[in-house]
Amino acid sequence: MSAIALGGATLGQAKSKEEAIRITHEAIDNGITFMDNAWEYNQHRSEEWMGEALQGRRDKAFLMTKVCKI
pLDDT per residue as tens digits for the range 13-32? 999 999 999 999 999 999 99
Runs of H (alpha helix) within the chain: 8-11, 17-29, 45-54
Residue 1 has pLDDT above 90, yes or no: yes
CA-based diameter of the chain, in Å? 35
Rounded Cα gap, residues 52 and 13, in angstroms: 15
Residue 70 has pLDDT above 70, yes or no: no
Burial class of residue 17 (count of CB atoms within 10 Å of its CB; 0-12, 13-18, 19+) = middle
